[in-house]
Structure 1
């Protein structure tokens, strides 16, 4: 069981939501925050709420760290197929041939 107060867990969860978001604040989807507020308001057991907030925060943090590590250690992650081929060829010291294009 977490010894952190519910307000601390709630704020840390909001912080993780902010860090995960790719959009600026004005364009963010408010649905997760609204759902989180309704969860906190409707919870009858503080222990169950604390556990839920803690697990959700840990999941968001782990997902964010995993995405950062993928970007750092897998440089071709998120590239198109053509960019991936060129990057792989450059990694082993080769250049890709110029493709023939009909005019």
Structure 2
């Protein structure tokens, strides 16, 4: 049987790996409540299995962090990615022509005389 101190430290380690939540009247997420009820109950889950799952959760968080760090364009749309790629090699993309009536004319003269 695991000691209460070991279980408490394991529970706190799980809470550190979960995303933080603002303090409110319902401060625990359903996942936090499930972890707490599993640890508090005298379950037959071995402490080694819980520690192994904690290592898995830490590895998943680190994987997501590294994925965001080394693939910064992952969340960008295609147009923004192309613009930044062109900037990286020292080029600027030309401004796109718009057919909307913005009041500017690209012609050489004024028709209304």
Whether these two folds match at TM > 0.5 is: yes
Change in Cα spacing, 1:68 to 1:44, as seen in structure 2 (3 Å) is: closer
> Greater relative contact order: 1 or 2 (C-alpha under 8 angstroms, separation 6 or more)?
1
Q: Is the 8 A contact 1:76 1:87 kept in 2?
A: no
The residue number in structure 2 matching 1:5 is 6
TM-score (structure 1 length as normaliser): 0.70
Give, in whole Å, the separation in 2 of the partners of 1:55 and 1:43: 19
Give, in whole Å, the separation in 2 of the partners of 1:30 and 1:85: 40
TM-score (structure 2 length as normaliser): 0.65
- Aligned residue pairs total 94
The residue number in structure 2 matching 1:68 is 65
Measured after TM superposition, the shift of residue 13 of structure 1 is 0.8
Measured after TM superposition, the shift of residue 43 of structure 1 is 4.4
The residue number in structure 1 matching 2:90 is 93
Alpha-carbon displacement from aligned partner over 1:50-92 (angstroms, at most 9, x marks no partner): 2342233222211221222122222212222222121122122
Q: Where does the alignment leave 5 or more consecutive residues of structure 1 unmatched? A: none
Give, in whole Å, the separation in 2 of the partners of 1:32 and 1:88: 41
Q: Where does the alignment leave 5 or more consecutive residues of structure 2 unmatched? A: 101-113
Structure with larger Rg: 2
